[in-house]
Amino acid sequence: MSHLRVLIVEDSEDDTLLTLRELRRGGYDLDYVRVDTATAMQAKLEQQPWDIVIADYSLPTFSAPEALKLLQSQRLDLPFIIVSGTIGEDTAVTAMKAGAHDYIIKGNLTRLVPAVERELREAEERHKRYKAEQSLQESEERFRQLAENIVEMVFWISDPASRRILYVSPAYESIWGSSCERLYSSFTGWVEAIHPQERQRIETIFFEQSLAGNYDEEYRIIRPDGSLRWIRDRGFPIKDQSGKAYRVVGIAEDITERKLAEEQIREQAALLDVATDAIIVRDWNHHILFWNKGAERLYGWEKAEILGKITAILYQGKTLPQYDEMLAILAKDGKWQGELQQVTKDGKNIIVESRWTLVRDEAGKPKFILTVSTDITQKKQLEAQFLRAQRLESLGTLASGIAHDFNNILTPILASAQLLPLKLPNLDQKSQQLLSIMESSAKRGADLVKQILSFTRGVEESRTLVQVRHLLADVAKVARRTFPKFIETQTNIAPDLETIFADSTQIHQVLMNLIVNARDAMPNGGILSISAENFWIDENYAQMNIDAQVGSYIIITVADTGIGIPPEIIGRIFDPFFTTKEVGKGTGLGLSTMISIIKSHRGFVTVHSEVGKGSRFQVYLPSKQASKTEVIAYPQIPSGNGELILVVDDEATIYEITKTTLESHNYKVLTANDGIGAIALYAQHKNNISLVLVDMMMPVMDGSTMIRTLQKMNPQVKIIAMSGSSVNLAVPQNNNLRIQGFLSKPFTAQVLLSTLHDMLR
C-alpha cells in the first residue's frame, strides 16, 4: 500500500469523503487535510510537504484557479487536479492552460486514481529532470572554472552537421595567437590555422574519430605571426541517454618543445644506430628507454616491442648472483664492465662484453644507465674450442707418456693372472675368483688406456671393407647372452646392407658402447632394438644436416625404451669425461670416443630422446659409393600437378630447400617462417592450398597450436607435420591432431615427394 499526502481544497464534507474513499480503493494509505479558504491553504502549504493537491473548482469564498495561483506563487511543483460537478469543457481547458494537470467530473470519480497515479509519475520525472539539470549546471560551472585555469585549451563543439563551436577556453589565444571570438562564428577559423599539409587529414577524421572516442592526433599550426607550433589534439564524445554521441569535448596542448626535443633525440639516435654495438638506455628501475639498431640486430627485438620492458627480458630466467654487486660498483664508480650471459628473442644464448655507465640527474641521484654491449659469443666459443683442444692435446701427451709404463705394469699382472691357474691347478675356488678379478681388472685397465689414446691422439688403424651386418649380429648375440633376461633384444638388419670402409675393431667398439649404454638405461627392463638399412643422402637432406654429404650411407640404429636423457644434458653427452653414472661405473669416455671414431670414418650421429620413453642413437656411415646405375635403381620420384603447398618452418634453410625441391617437381609453394604468418597466408589462399607442411617446434606459435587453428578454419585441411624429434615418439603425440602424415627431419627429396604424392592422390 502506497502512502499519499494529499491536500484537499473542498467545502463539502460529503464530496471530500467520496474522494478519500476512491483513493483508498486505489490502494493508498492517506494523510490528508481539507481546506476551503486561501488562508487555510497557505498555512497548510507552509506546515508540511504534500504529494498532490485535489481542488473543487468553485467554493463559496475560494476557487480552484485561485488555489492554483497560490500554489504557483509558492514555487511548488505539485500535481494539481480539479474535481467538479459543474465545470464546462471550455473552463477545463482554460484551467489546464493555467497549469492544472487534470480535471475530473464528480460523477465519474473512477478516473481519479489513474489520474493521480499518472500525475505522481510525471511529477517524479519532472523532479528527476530538475535534479539532472541542476547537476549539469553545477558540472558545467566546475568544468568552466577548470578549463579557464589550465594551460591546455579546452573546447566544446556541437554535432558534425552544424560544426558550431560552443566553448573555447582562454588558453586558445596563448597557443594559437588568435582571439577566441572569431571561432564562435565559424569552425573553419580553427581549421584554417592548421598547416596545409595536414589540414585535410585532420578535418576529415576529427568528427569521425572524436565521436567514436579514439581521436588523438598531433599536427602543426601556423600562427598569425608566421611561426609554427606543434599541437596534440584529443577529442571525446558526449552522449545522450540513449547512448548516441551528439557533441565533442576535447583538449589541445602545445607540444612544440617536446617535438623539438624528440627531433634532437632522433638525430642523436640516428648516429647511435650506425654503431654495430647494442646501445641501450634504461632508467634506475631497469625499464628500457632507448634501443638502437645494433640492439635490434643482436637481441632480435624491435624497438617498438621492447621499449618500456624491464631488462630482465634479456636474461629470461637466468640468475645474476653478482647483480647487486654490479649495481653497487656502478653506483660507487659510475661505471661497470664485464661479461654477461644473455638470451635473444628466439631463445638463443649469447655472451656479451657489457660496459655500463651511470647518468645522474641535477641533484646527483642515479637517473639512467647507458649500456654498450658487444657480442663475443663466437669469440668465447672459439676460445672454448681452443682450450678444449689444448686440454685434449695435453691429455693425449700425458696418456702417450704413461701408456708405455702403464702397459708394462699391466702386462705382468695380466700374465700372472693367466699363468697362476696353470701353475697351481689345485687352488681353491675363492683364490681362483681372486685371480679372475685380477685378470678382468688388468684387461679393463688396458682397454681404458687404449680408449684414451683412441680419443685424444688416435691409434693406428687397419681399414678394410667391412660387412657391418656381421658385427651387428655379433653384438646382438652378446646382448641376448649377457644382458638381464628382462631386456628383450630385437634386430632388423637389411639383407642387402652395403659394406663400409672401416676399422672393424673400432666399429665393434662403437656398437658395444651403444648397447651397454642402452642396457644401463633400462634398469627395470625394456626393449633393445638394433637395426640397419641403406640410405641415400641427397642434396635436400645434406642441406638440412651440416655433417652430411651427398652419397650412399648405412644407418645403424640402437634404440631403447629406458629412462631417456634429460634435455638439459643431452648437449653434453659427447663431452669427454661427462657421465651420469655412479662413481666407478663409468669413465665418461664411451660416447666421446664413439663420436671421435665415427667422425674419423666421415660419418655422423643423431640422438633423439624423451625422458621416461627412451633414446634412439643413429649412426650414419658412408658406404661403398653408389654409381649412377645404382642411383637410378631407386624408385622414380613422383612429381606434382601444379598443387599449391604451404611450407611453414622457422629455419630458413629448411623452407628454402623444401621450396626448391617442390618447385622443381611441378608444385607451387608458399612459405612462412612462423605460425602467425602461416595462418594469415592460409586465410588469404584457403581455397587454393592443397596441403600444409608444418614444423612442430616454432617460436611464438608452435605447430600444434597452428594446426588446431587451421583445422578450425577448414576441418578438411590436409596437414603433414615435420619434426627433428624421433618419429616413434612424435607420431603418437600428434595423433589427436588428426594430421595426415609425418616427416622426420632431415628427409630426402624421395621421402618428401612420395609422402606428398600419397596424401594428394
Give the pLDDT confidence of 676-717 residue by residue, as tens digits: 888 989 999 989 999 999 988 887 788 888 898 999 899 999
Note the pLDDT of residue 626: 40
Placement of cell 658385427 in the chain: 471
β-bridge partners, 618: 557, 606
Q: Would you place residue 410 in the very low, low, confident or very high pLDDT band (cuts 50, 70, 90)? A: low
Note the pLDDT of residue 627: 39
Least confident of 346-360, 367-381, 516-530, 622-636: 622-636
Give the span between the Cα atoms of 606 and 592, in whole angstroms.
14
Confirm if 456 and 392 have CB atoms less than 8 A apart: yes
Count other Cβ atoms within 10 Å, centred on residue 721: 23
Q: In what order do the strands lie in the sheet with 52-56?
A: 28-35, 2-9, 52-56, 80-84, 102-105
Q: In what order do the strands lie in the sheet with 278-283?
A: 288-291, 278-283, 366-375, 349-360, 335-343
H-helix segments, 82-170: 89-98, 112-147
Concatenate the DSSP letters of all residues of 544-609 into one string: H-TT--SEEEEEEEEEE-SS---TTTGGGTTSTT---SPTTS--S-HHHHHHHHHHHTT-EEEEEE
Concatenate the DSSP letters of all residues of 447-480 into one string: HHHHHHHHHHT------EEE-HHHHHHHHHHHHH
Query: Structure pTM?
Result: 0.37
Note the pLDDT of residue 628: 37
> Above 90 in pLDDT, residue 463?
no
Give the pLDDT confidence of 283-318 residue by residue, as tens digits: 888 899 888 888 888 888 998 888 988 888 888 666
Give the span between the Cα atoms of 643 and 690, in whole angstroms.
6
Confirm if 605 and 620 have CB atoms less than 8 A apart: yes
Confirm if 410 and 442 have CB atoms less than 8 A apart: yes
Give the span between the Cα atoms of 499 and 471, in whole angstroms.
11
Q: Would you place residue 526 in the very low, low, confident or very high pLDDT band (cuts 50, 70, 90)? A: very high
Question: Which percentage of the chain shows pLDDT scores above 70?
Answer: 84
Confirm if 464 and 501 have CB atoms less than 8 A apart: yes
Give the span between the Cα atoms of 601 and 686, in whole angstroms.
48
> Above 80 in pLDDT, residue 580?
no
> Above 50 in pLDDT, residue 70?
yes
